[in-house]
Amino acid sequence: MATKEKRGKKTQPRHPEKKWGPFAGGTGVAVWLNEFETAAGTRYARTITLSPRRFRDPKTNEWRDGAYRPVDLSAMLLALQAALDYCHSTPLPGEAAEPEEVDALAEGEESPSDPKAPF
């Protein structure tokens, strides 16, 4: 029996730019760098994904998504804050960091826009 071959260009597997986890139950947070073409040229944007809590169903032996437990929320909150800090502090490709902010961070000072403040 002949098998069909998939045609088309082969793509490299994508990996997250930064990742926190997996924590207990498989939860985690990942930051992805996305590249897309526009009329103005190549642009970049970041997206964040949350990995669900996973468990193996004893009846079907398949992996399923489950509900978060209170202990998961603490880990996810810390990971989400770390992801937010990473997105705010890491410039996208082609963007330069603000010179005064780079100097302040190099000297160990906190960023002018306090990342701990939610707004």
Residue 11 has what pLDDT?
78
- Give the model's pLDDT for residue 119: 45
Is residue 99 very low, low, confident or very high in pLDDT (cuts 50, 70, 90)?
A: low
Would you say residue 98 has pLDDT above 60? Answer: yes
CA dist 16 and 50 (Å) reads 12
- What amino acid is encoded at 56 in this protein? R
Q: For residues 28 and 98, which has the higher predicted lDDT (pLDDT)?
A: 28
Query: In angstroms, rounded to a whole number, what is the distance separating the alpha carbons of residues 43 and 34?
Result: 8
Q: What was the pLDDT predicted at 6?
A: 59
Domain-wise residue ranges, the chain:
18-106
Dist CA 12 CA 89 (whole Å): 27
Counted residue by residue, the chain has a size of 119
Confidence at residue 106, expressed as pLDDT on a 0 to 100 scale? 61
Measured distance CA(22)–CA(77) in Å, rounded = 14
**Where is 78: in which H helix or E strand?**
helix 70-89
pLDDT in tens, 57-96: 999 999 999 999 998 999 999 999 999 999 999 999 888 7
- 22-69 pLDDT, tens per residue? 998 889 999 999 999 999 899 999 999 999 999 899 999 999 999 999
Are 31 and 19 within 8 A, CB to CB?
yes
CB 34 within 8 A of CB 45: yes
| Count helices and strands in the chain by DSSP H and E runs | 2, 5
Of 36, 23, 113, the C-alpha closest to 77 is 23
